[in-house]
Amino acid sequence: MNDVIESKNLSYFHSFRLPTEAKQVIVLDDLSQLNSIPGQAYILGAGSNTLFLENVEFPILHVCLKGIEIHESLDFWRVDVAAGENWHELVCKLHAQGIFGFENLALIPGTVGAAPVQNIGAYGREVSDFIESVEVWDRQNQSRYTLTNDACDFSYRDSIFKQNPSRWLITSVRFNIPKKWRAEVSYGELKSLGLPVTPADILEKVIAIRTAKLPDPAIVPNAGSFFKNPLVEPSQLKQLIVRYPEMPHFTSPSGKIKLAAGWMIDYLRLKGYSIGGAGVHDKQALVLINNGSATGNDVLNLARYIQDKVNVEFGVNLEAEVRLIGGQGMISL
Ligand code: EPU
C-alpha cells in the first residue's frame, strides 16, 4: 500500500514554492507499488523543474525510490541509481570514490530519475553522455522495460520521457562511466582553469560559478533556467548577427544554432524586472524567481511578457524549459 498524504500544500514539493495544493500526494518508495499507481497521477521527483501554478485535482506521485550500486569492470564503472536519489549528492559521492566525469553537472538540483527527462546539462556535458540505459515503468502497458540510450532519443533538454510524460515512470538509471577520465573544459569560464586540470579543479570551479550566478532555491525559490536556449537556422543567425554582433551563439549537433536566451533577456534590460511577486533574477536573466509572494498568474504574466519582448526584438520564440502545471495538467506558455 502506498503512503498517502491528504490535502497537501504543494509549496513543500516544488522549489518555486507557489502556494498551491493537491488533494493527494502519494509516496512511491517501493517497486511493488507500481501496479497501484492511479492513472491520472502526476509524477514528481524533487520538484526543481516543475511549477504548480494552481491547485491541482489529480494526485501527485512523489518518487522516493532509493539505492546506489557500483560495479567495476576493466575500463568502466557501471553505476545503477534509483530514481529518488539526489543528483548532486550522487555527483559528490562518485567523486569522493574516485569515479570522475560528472563534475560539470555538480549542483544541478533534482533527482536522478528526473535527470534523463530533460537530459540535464551544464558546462559542455549532458547526462546522456553517461547513460547506458534507463529502467522504466510503462504506465500505458503496465510493464517494466529497460530502454537503451538510443531508445531514449536524447537531445538538448529533450528525451522521449519529456515528449510523453504521462507514459513513462523512470525507476532507475544505469550509468556507464569510462575509467579513462576526459576533462570537458570548453565552456568559457572553465577554459581559464588551464591545463593540466583535475576532476577536483572542475568540480570546485563549477560549484563556484553556479553559487555566484544562480540563486540557491533553498533561499530564493526558483526552478533554474526558466526558458530553453532557442535553436535557430544558420540563415536566421546571419541576419541577427548583423544587428547584434556581440550576440553569443553556439553550433549544436543538429546543425542548428543555439542562442543564449539569458543574453537576449539581459539585452532587453529585464534583469530584476518583476510582475507581482515573480521576477527576473538580477545575476542570471534566464532564471525567474519567486520573491516570496508570487502567484501562478504572476509567473505566467512575467513569462509571457518576456516571450513577447524577445519575439518583438529578435523574432525568436522562447519556450519554457520548466514544466508548468495548471489545475488540469501540463500547460504551455
Ligand atoms: N548571458 C548574459 N546575461 C545573462 C545570462 C546569460 O549576457 O543574464 C550570456 C552569458 O554571458 C553567456 C551566455 O549568455 O555568454 C550563456 O549564459 P550562461 O553560460 O550563463 O548559460 P545559459 O545558456 O544561460 C545554460 C543552461 C544552464 C547551465 C548553463 C551552463 C539552459 C536552458 N540552461 O544556461 O542550466 O547551467 O548553460 O552550462 O540550457 C538549468 O537548466 O536550470 C540551468 C541552470
CATH code of the domain containing 118: 3.30.465.10
Both 184 and 74 in one domain: the answer is: yes
Residues 104 and 165 in one domain: yes
Exposure b/e, 299-330, CB count within 10 A at least 16 = b: bbebbeebbebbeeebebebebbbbbbbeeee
Within a domain: 19: yes
Assess if residue 277 is contained within a domain: yes
Q: Among 129, 263, 280, which is best to mutate for testing ligand 1, by the most ligand atoms less than 8 A from CB? A: 263
Q: Residue 97 falls within a domain, yes or no?
A: yes
Instruction: Name the average pLDDT for the chain.
Output: 96
Question: What distance in angstroms lies between residue 120's CA and the mean position of ligand 1's atoms?
Answer: 13
In this structure, are 30 and 13 located in the same domain?
A: yes
Q: What is the mean pLDDT of residues 239-252?
A: 96
Out of 125, 157, 174, 323, pick the active-site residue: 157
Closest ligand 1 atom to 229 CA: 32
pLDDT in tens, 194-236: 889 999 999 999 999 999 999 999 999 999 999 999 999 999 9
When pLDDT is cut at 50, 70 and 90, the band that residue 2 belongs to is low
DSSP for 54-79, written as a single string: S-BSS-EEEE----EEEEE-SSEEEE
C-alpha–C-alpha distance, residues 317 and 114, integer Å? 25
225 is catalytic: yes
> Rounded to the nearest whole angstrom, what is the distance from the C-alpha of residue 126 to the centroid of ligand 1?
14
Q: Is residue 204 flagged as an active site residue?
A: no
pLDDT, residue 49, reads 97
Q: How far is the CA of 79 from the centre of ligand 1 (A)?
A: 29
pLDDT at residue 252, rounded to an integer: 86
Q: How many helices (H) and strands (E) does the chain have?
A: 7, 21
Q: What CATH number does residue 38 fall under?
A: 3.30.43.10
Q: What's the 286 CA to ligand 1 centre distance in angstroms?
A: 7
Strand, helix or coil for residue 96: helix
The reply to whether 300 falls in a domain is: yes
Nearest atom in ligand 1 to 210's CA:
36
**Single-letter amino acid code for the residue at 23:** K
In percent, the amount of the chain with pLDDT more than 70 equals: 99
182 in the same domain as 73:
yes
Average pLDDT (5-31) is 92
Quote the CA–CA distance of 197 and 204 in Å, as a whole number.
11
- CA angle 231–122–78, rounded 5-degree value: 120
- CATH code of the domain containing 258: 3.90.78.10
Q: Which of 15, 135, 225, 323 is catalytic?
A: 225
**124 and 185 both lie in a single domain:** yes
Top mutation candidate among 14, 123, 225, 268 for ligand 1, by most atoms within 8 Å of CB: 225
> Which residue out of 132, 184, 189, 321 is catalytically annotated?
321
0.85 cut: is pTM over it?
yes
222 domain residue, yes or no: yes
Residues 240 and 159 occupy one common structural domain: no
User: Is residue 200, in this structure, part of any structural domain at all?
Assistant: no
Which among 130, 154, 189 is the end of a domain? 189
For 27-84, what is each residue's pLDDT tens digit?
999 999 999 999 999 999 999 999 999 999 999 999 999 999 999 999 999 999 999 9
**Does 20 share its domain with 85?**
no
Residue 203 forms part of a structural domain? no
Domain boundary among 189, 205, 223: 189
Looking at the fold, whether 171 and 80 belong to one and the same domain comes out as: yes
Q: What is the pLDDT of residue 3?
A: 76
Question: Residue 190: pLDDT above 90?
Answer: yes
Residue 75 and residue 107 in one domain: yes
Give the domain extent around 289: 215-330
Same domain for 127 and 23, yes or no, is: no
Domain annotation covers residue 35: yes
Distance between CA 128 and CA 145 in Å, rounded?
Answer: 18
Of 63, 79, 105, the residue at which a domain comes to its end is 63
Q: Which three cell numbers stand for residue 94?
A: 562518485
What is the tally of structural domains in the chain? Answer: 3
**Does one domain contain both 58 and 73?**
no
Within 6 Å (CB) of ligand 1, which residues are found? 122-123, 187, 214, 224-225, 228-229, 248, 260, 262-263, 266, 271, 284-286, 321
Residue 130's pLDDT is 98
- Give per-residue pLDDT as tens, 86-140: 999 999 999 999 999 999 999 999 999 999 999 999 999 999 999 999 999 999 9
Residue 128 falls in the annotated catalytic set: no
Q: Tell whether 53 and 76 lie within a shared domain.
A: no
